[in-house]
């Protein structure tokens, strides 16, 4: 009887010890699991946001490149170019991206908008939300002495212009649902026209067009 009592007591103690260990593990898991899940979810969201931001940069480069390959432009051609540009967002949805194109020339030594058009998510080409004509364009930089300069001035050829591709996107996802309007992403890209000094927009009268 004494032997059985000792064995029973030892077994009971071992069971209690195991239960305590399991209970401690459960409590630790309850504390750690939410943090680990949040970290996993956050890293996934951050990775996707960075990927979309790179798509915005690529889209700005693409629309500027497509427009710069011509010497004239109209809304129908621009809308087709924007449709192609939206494809670079795949596998993400680029329909809501606002794509703006503008011509920038030197006016009195200052880079300014000659004409600008925007194509919205509905495929409409208009001046709404585009750059107003005469708006100064600044690309901050420094010269060899470290003095601040406008890099856009150096990009523009004499009596010519450069094409500005501007893509704006309000990024939304499950992780950004607590931001009322999402996260704003924007990128600008500048290119010189390939075939002429300027790309002229149909119906817009400017010097050289």
Within a domain: residue 18?
no
Q: Does residue 89 belong to any structural domain of this protein?
A: yes
pLDDT tens digits for range 144-183: 888 899 889 989 988 899 999 999 988 877 665 666 667 8
Q: Which domain holds residue 112?
A: 32-201
Per-residue pLDDT at 7: 44
pTM of the model: 0.77
Whether 93 maps to a domain, the answer reads yes
Report helix, strand and coil shares of the chain as percent, to nearest 5: 45, 25, 30
Average pLDDT rounded to a whole number, residues 51-75:
94
Which has the higher per-residue pLDDT, 82 or 30?
82
On whether residue 14 sits in a domain, the answer given is no
Residue 24 lies in a domain: no
pLDDT at 4 over 80: no
29: pLDDT strictly greater than 80: no
* Residue 8 domain flag: no
Residue 1 belongs to some domain of the structure: no
Say what the pLDDT of residue 129 is.
Answer: 79
Number of folded domains in the chain? 1
Report how far residue 98's alpha carbon sits from residue 93's, in angstroms, rounded to the nearest whole number: 12
Q: Euclidean distance between the first and final Cα of the chain, in Å?
A: 111
- pLDDT at residue 172 in the model: 78
Asked whether the beta carbons of 128 and 115 are under 8 A apart, the reply is no
Contact 103, 113 (CB under 8 A): yes
Q: Is 192 exposed, middle or buried (0-12, 13-18, 19+ CB in 10 A)?
A: middle
């Amino acid at each position: 009887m004494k032997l059985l009592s000792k064995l029973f007591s030892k077994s009971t103690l071992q069971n209690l010890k195991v239960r305590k260990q399991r209970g401690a593990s459960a409590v630790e898991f309850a504390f750690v699991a939410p943090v680990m899940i949040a970290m996993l979810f956050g890293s996934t969201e951050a990775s996707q946001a960075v990927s979309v931001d790179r798509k915005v940069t690529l889209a700005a480069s693409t629309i500027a490149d497509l427009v710069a390959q011509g010497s004239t432009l109209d809304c129908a051609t621009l809308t087709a170019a924007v449709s192609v540009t939206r494809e670079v967002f795949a596998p993400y949805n680029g329909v809501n991206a606002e794509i703006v194109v503008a011509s920038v020339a030197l006016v009195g030594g200052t880079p300014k908008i000659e004409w600008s058009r925007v194509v919205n998510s509905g495929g409409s080409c208009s001046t709404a939300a585009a750059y107003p004509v005469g708006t100064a364009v600044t690309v901050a930089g420094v010269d060899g002495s470290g003095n601040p300069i406008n890099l856009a001035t150096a990009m523009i050829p004499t009596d010519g212009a450069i094409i500005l591709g501007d893509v704006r996107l309000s990024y939304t996802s499950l992780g950004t649902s607590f931001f009322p309007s999402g996260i704003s992403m924007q990128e600008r890209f500048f290119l010189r026209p390939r075939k002429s000094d300027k790309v002229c927009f149909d119906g817009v009268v400017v010097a050289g067009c």
